[in-house]
């Protein structure tokens, strides 16, 4: 999962380090050629992740943040597989997600959006892929929120994904969007990926088979780590 071959990255699949329409990248994106740095042993030799390291409700965001009741919003099941470029399942991958609540608000001091905080929803969870590369989260469908990039800018509804392989140097980050969201065509982050087909790989698909009848809709989102069908990753 590590990206040592920086110059060989497919820049039609992944967004550039600096995308002018996404204004904060002009401050944080590197302006000079990158210099690959050899990873130390401590970065490359951490213990493998396993199910034994997870707590019971780590992957259920409708439970892990409860204080005195249930979180407010539409319950959903998000599931899929993590695959390599040859469609081989990747087991033992630590997935972490974070998201806004149903009103479009994060529990974070930096989020001062004028929307209610849900005291029973933390907005974060984690799980480890099984031997077939599968993962599953139960959560609340997030809301859109303003983000100040330009006049009347609103982020499409989305869930952030972080993936760790067998070392701390192999972290990848991406976002999962929802089908049919009209804000996608207006979003500079989503549109920073040059290739239209690559963008579509960040959009989940509705799955009536993976949801729970009368309780939660299901959405499927496979993540491909490399190759021609790779899921676009944030820099």
Greatest CA span in the chain, whole angstroms?
Answer: 53
**199: three-class secondary structure by DSSP:** helix
Query: Does residue 235 lie in a domain region?
Result: no
Active site residues: 106, 145, 155, 158, 160
Q: In this predicted model, what pLDDT tens digit does every residue of 56-89 receive, in sequence order? A: 899 999 999 999 999 999 999 999 999 999 999 9
Q: Domain tally for the chain?
A: 1
231 within a domain of the structure (yes/no): no
DSSP 8-state code for residue 89: B
Classify residue 40: in a domain, yes or no: no
> What is the CA angle 56-61-62, rounded to 5?
100
pTM: predicted TM-score of the whole model, two decimal places? 0.86
Q: Is residue 234 part of a domain?
A: no
Q: Which residues pair with 218 in a beta bridge?
A: 77, 207
CATH number (domain holding residue 189): 2.60.130.10
Of 130, 123, 145, 120, nearest to 49 (Cα)? 130
Domain that holds residue 93: 7-32+48-224
Could you report the per-residue pLDDT of 197-233, keeping only the tens digit for each? 999 999 999 999 999 999 999 999 999 998 889 999 9
């Amino acid at each position: 999962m590590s990206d040592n071959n920086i110059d060989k990255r497919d820049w039609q699949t992944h967004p550039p380090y600096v995308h002018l329409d996404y204004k904060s990248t002009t401050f944080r994106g590197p302006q000079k050629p990158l210099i690959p740095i050899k990873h130390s042993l401590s970065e490359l030799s951490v213990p493998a992740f396993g199910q034994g390291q997870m707590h019971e409700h780590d992957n259920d965001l409708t439970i892990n943040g409860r204080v005195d009741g249930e979180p407010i919003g539409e319950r959903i099941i998000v599931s899929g597989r993590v695959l390599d470029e040859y469609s081989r399942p990747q087991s033992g991958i630590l997935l972490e997600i974070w998201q806004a609540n149903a009103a479009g608000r994060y529990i974070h001091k930096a989020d001062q959006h004028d929307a209610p905080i849900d005291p029973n929803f933390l907005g974060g969870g984690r799980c480890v892929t099984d031997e077939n590369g599968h993962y599953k989260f139960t959560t609340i469908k997030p809301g859109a929120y303003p983000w100040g990039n330009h006049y009347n800018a609103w982020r499409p509804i989305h869930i952030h994904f972080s993936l760790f392989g067998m070392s701390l140097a192999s972290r990848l980050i991406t976002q999962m969007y929802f089908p049919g969201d009209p804000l996608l065509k207006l979003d500079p982050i989503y549109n920073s990926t040059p290739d239209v087909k690559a963008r579509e790989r960040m959009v989940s698909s509705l799955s009536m088979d993976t949801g729970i009848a009368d309780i939660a809709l299901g959405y499927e989102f496979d993540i491909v780590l490399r190759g021609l069908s790779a899921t676009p990753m944030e820099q």
